[in-house]
Amino acid sequence: MASIHSTALVDPAAELDSSVSVGPYAVIGPQVRIGAGSTVGAHCVIEGRTTIGRDNRFFQFSSIGAVPQDMKYAGEDTELVIGDRNTVREFCTFNAGTVQDGGVTRVGSDNWIMAYVHVAHDVQLGSHCVLANNATLAGHVHVGDWATIGGLSGVHQFVKIGAHAMIGFQGHVAQDVPPFMTVDGNPLTARAVNLTGLRRRGFSTERQGVIKQMHKLLYRSGLTLAQAQEAIAGLRGQVPEADGDVDAMLSFLAAAERGIVR
C-alpha cells in the first residue's frame, strides 16, 4: 500500500498507487487519483476531481485541485488533470476548470514549476515547460510545449503562448506570444528568436534560419499581420524539416484572438 505519514489525512475513497508517498499533514480528498511513483510533500492539499499521473513530485504547502477563483463558479463538477514527471515546488496553486470553458484545467508532463506559481481555471499547460517563481497564469491561458515563463510574470486571461516561446522576467503578458519568440520589457516587446532554447532542443542551423526569417517577417519588415502570414506561408519547402515550424506559426497566428505582442 501507499506510504502515508501517520499525520496525513487521506480519504478512503482516494485512489493512490501503492508506490505513492504522502508526507506529514497532507490532506487528500475523495475524488483524487495519483499514479505510480508520485510523492506528495508535507502540508499539501490535493482535492476536487483531480487526476495525477506517474512520478510527479509535489513539494510542501501546495494547493492542488481547489475550486476556481471565478465568481461565476457555482459548484459544477469540473476537474484538474496532471500528466507525468512534473516537479511542483512550494506554495503552488492549481485550480479546477469551469463550465464556461471545457471544464478541465490540464497540465502536461515533464514540467518544471517553481515556487508560488498559480495555474488558474481552464489553463492548458503543455509539456517540458519552465515556470519560474511567482509566474501567474490567469484563467483560460494556453501555453505550448517547451515554453519558458520568467519569474514574477503575469499572463492575462485567454492569452496564448506558443511553443518554444520565452517570457522574460516580470513580463506583463496581455497579448498572444507567437511560438519561438523571446519577449520581455515593459511594455512587453518581441526581442528575438529563442535561439538558446532551440539549440538546446537540437534544432538544426537550417531550421533556426527559417524561424529567424519568420521573426523578420513578423517584426522587422513593416508588413501587416496578414501580409506577414502570407509571406511566412511562402517559406514552406525551402527547408523541408522546418515546414512543421512554419505550419505551427501559421496555425498560432490564425487562432490569435488578442493580437500578438509587437
CA atoms within 13 A on the CB side of 91: 7
Strand partners, 173: 155
Burial class (CB in 10 A: 0-12, 13-18, 19+), 155: buried
The question of whether 43 is a catalytic residue gets the answer no
To the query of whether residue 118 is one of the catalytic residues in this protein, the response is: no
**Residues 122, 145, 184, 245: which is the catalytic one?**
122
Q: CB–CB of 163/148 below 8 Å?
A: no
DSSP letter (8 states) at residue 246: H
Single out the catalytic residue among 118, 121, 128, 140: 121
Separation between Cα atoms, residue 174 and residue 172, nearest integer Å: 6
**Cα–Cα nearest to 80, from 89, 68, 62:** 68
- 234 included as an active-site residue: no
Cell of 204: 538544426
Paired with 256 in beta bridges are none
* Separation CA 17–CA 23 (nearest Å): 15
Q: Which of 53, 65, 139, 197 is catalytic?
A: 139
In order, the DSSP letters of 203-223 are --HHHHHHHHHHHHHHHTS--
Give 240's DSSP letter.
G
Active centre residues (catalytic) = 121-122, 139
